[in-house]
Structure 1
Amino acid sequence: MQSSPVVQPAKKSRNLRWRLIISAILISSLGILFYFDHKIGRSAPVLLLLCLFLAIRGSWEMTNLLKTRSFQPKFLLVALGSVSIILATWLKPLGIGETQGVDLSYLGPTMLTFSLVMMALFMMSALRFREPGQSMETLSAEIMSVVYVGVFLSMTAQLRWVAGPQAGYLVLGSLIVAAKGGDVGAFTLGKLFGRKKLNPLLSPGKTWWGARGALVASAFFSWLWLTYMPPVFNPNWEACPWPLSILYGIVVGVVGMLGDLCESLIKRDVGKKDSAPLMPGFGGILDILDSVLYTGPVAYLFWSLFPMASWV
């Protein structure tokens, strides 16, 4: 009985070190991949391959996660739909990746493909129908899976071109650094000081101190990245305006926490702890990318509407 107060902090410390080390490795690996992809040019083949892998793996995790009660989503259908939406993002004849700036008017290929995928899912559900009681649940699970994996991932990937092809990884990096920095800040302060739970029924591990840590860390890393990295990409580029950099970080931090809670909603409702046992302490791909995927559309909207890029 006397040893438990000592063992628990030691365990927390080991978990914290493990998460910090793995986060550093993952972000560094992405940085290397993005560097080579930036050198190749605006077609971004490395990013395409990465997104296709994430779409397939994410589809597998989501369909396995949702196979409970009357939900029986088909991995092949969800994976094909998600991959199709990702490929639509790279459709050069329709303008994606070929212009100096990509704004809200360039979402046509993604939305067109999404519409066709929805039609295909409805058609397959109709062909599979045998008796009442399961079709709508399974169809709903498949549609949600395609949206969560395919559409969210596609919107995140389109940050590669939203502020011009040369600034693609400056923009995409800003989201990853702010979102994952917020995750690290939330985990760090939550484990060190957190007592009061943020939402104990949905996600008992999250605390109000963790939420504060997420906002502060997201704002700080966003400001740091958008202040000092633009000249690294191009000596003629100026830093993003600091009020917008901080506001962007706060928005990413808030939406990232919501994304984390929304993924927790899925896992809690189906009675599972992680989306998949991919990495100890992190779970599956969807557990690692939840804050990034959920924030992708908001980041795209932010860069489209606000004068973040002084070089455009």
Structure 2
Amino acid sequence: MSQLDPYGNQTPNRAPDSWVPDPWLDQPDREPAGEWPTRNGRADEPYTGSGDLPYSEAEAQTAAYPQVQPRAEADAEPATDPVRPRRPGPGKRRATGRAGRNLPAAIGVGVTLGAVVIASLFVWRPAFLAVIVVALGVAIWEMSRAVRAVGAHPPAVPLAAGGLVTIGMAWYAGEDALMLGFLVTLLATLVWRLADGLSGFGRDAAAATLIAVYVPFLGGFAALLAEPDDGARRVIVTLAAVVLSDTGGYVAGVFFGKRPMAPTISPKKSWEGLAGSLVATAVGSAILLYLLLDVEPWWGAVFGLALSIASVLGDLAESMLKRDLGIKDMSNLLPGHGGLMDRLDSILFALPTAYLLLAVFT
């Protein structure tokens, strides 16, 4: 006779008294849960014979295997505290102005150059001629290098030699000598360049003419200003007017500047800054010319207004030139300033203006 086993299979010729209990179904009664031994406050089941491990041993074995994080937690980036940038310690920060200049270096260089000019004017007058020659020689070198950015190569040798001779001629022989020296320098430069062929001659000739007019010709008026007996004071009031214009424009632009004056040429210049330049230069020049040259205050105010406008035009002219050349500074010769031409741009336009006005006023 066959019987059905617990799995539904037929077992033939098996007597009921030979039944063997199945360990999966016929397990002995477990002990009450309250009588189970505990470990670390957790009930530990006794071995049941079913192949399961006690709870504590199973937990220990499970902890030995790597734990798989849920997908959302695995894909998430570990949370980290944001790293705050460290502030530089003492001596590591630089004071910069609106233009990004190093103000301490700029002020130090400006004071040093001013002291050299004043000392050369009042200690030994011929030393001022040497200051002019060195300054304009460096300016010619900077300009000759700068125009190479557009492929121009003006002859630097005749430009520098002729320009410096022109300054000396203006110092000793006056206005006519300045004009003669300029024309001779320009002619010699063009002939020198023509000897290298016609390829690129027009471009190089235009660059040479620009440099000759911009640097030695305009700079030669510094020698004309210093030539009279009161020449030292004339130079001082001229340079002071330029400094007043720059300072007044900077302060007014920082505190009140809202409307850009020439955004495509010099974005940081504003109409409010121009007003500050005009006011500061007019007031300061009225006082200085009255004290140093015995000029009526209203004439001094006119002098200051004219030099302020000339200074701003000179600054804008060089800014436009540098934009066309695709450069920021003429060189990095002066810390905090750039090149020497970056300091002479306003002065070069102010020199002939001051010379002509002082010739009328005095």
Aligned residues: 272
Structure 2 residue aligned with 1:29, among 108, 116, 122? 116
Report what 2:238 is aligned to.
175
Matches for 1:271-282 after TM superposition, within 5 Å = 271-282=326-337
**Shift of residue 156, structure 1, vs aligned partner:** 2.4
**Shift of residue 279, structure 1, vs aligned partner:** 2.3
Report what 2:148 is aligned to.
67
Q: Give the 3 Å change call, closer, same or farther, for CA 11–127 of structure 1 in structure 2.
A: closer
Matches for 1:134-283 after TM superposition, within 5 Å = 134-161=200-227, 165-230=228-293, 239-283=294-338
SS in 2 for 1:128: coil
Show CA shifts across 1:146-167 (max 9, x none): 1111001101221113xxx220
**Shift of residue 24, structure 1, vs aligned partner:** 3.9
**Shift of residue 45, structure 1, vs aligned partner:** 1.4
**Shift of residue 109, structure 1, vs aligned partner:** 0.8
Q: Which has the higher helix share?
A: 1
Structure of higher RCO (CA pairs closer than 8 Å, 6+ residues apart): 1
User: In 2, are the aligned partners of 1:182 and 1:215 still within 8 Å (CA)?
Assistant: yes
**Shift of residue 137, structure 1, vs aligned partner:** 0.5
Identity across aligned pairs (percent)? 26
User: In 2, are the aligned partners of 1:89 and 1:109 still within 8 Å (CA)?
Assistant: yes
User: In 1, are the aligned partners of 2:155 and 2:193 still within 8 Å (CA)?
Assistant: no
Report what 1:102 is aligned to.
none
**Shift of residue 192, structure 1, vs aligned partner:** 2.6
Residue type matched to 2:187 in 1? M
Which structure has the bigger radius of gyration? Answer: 2
SS in 1 for 2:195: helix
In 1, Cα distance between the equivalents of 2:97 and 2:176? 47
Residue type matched to 2:163 in 1? S
Give the gaps of 5 or more residues in structure 1: 4-9, 38-43, 97-105, 231-238
Show CA shifts across 1:207-229 (max 9, x none): 11211121112112212211223
Show CA shifts across 1:246-287 (max 9, x none): 100000001110010001111110001111112233211111
Structure 2 residue aligned with 1:129, among 197, 201, 204? 197
TM-score, normalised on structure 2?
0.69
Report what 2:340 is aligned to.
285
Q: Give the 3 Å change call, closer, same or farther, for CA 221–129 of structure 1 in structure 2.
A: same
In 1, Cα distance between the equivalents of 2:96 and 2:142? 28
In 2, Cα distance between the equivalents of 1:16 and 1:120? 41
Question: After the TM superposition, which segments of 4 or more aligned residues of structure 1 sit over 6 Å from their partners?
Answer: none
Report what 1:113 is aligned to.
181
Report what 2:131 is aligned to.
50
SS in 1 for 2:164: helix
Q: Give the 3 Å change call, closer, same or farther, for CA 248–63 of structure 1 in structure 2.
A: same
Give the gaps of 5 or more residues in structure 2: 1-83, 85-94
User: In 1, are the aligned partners of 2:117 and 2:128 still within 8 Å (CA)?
Assistant: no
SS in 1 for 2:229: helix
Residue type matched to 1:173 in 2? I
SS in 2 for 1:198: strand
Report what 1:99 is aligned to.
none
RMSD across aligned C-alpha pairs, in angstroms? 2.6
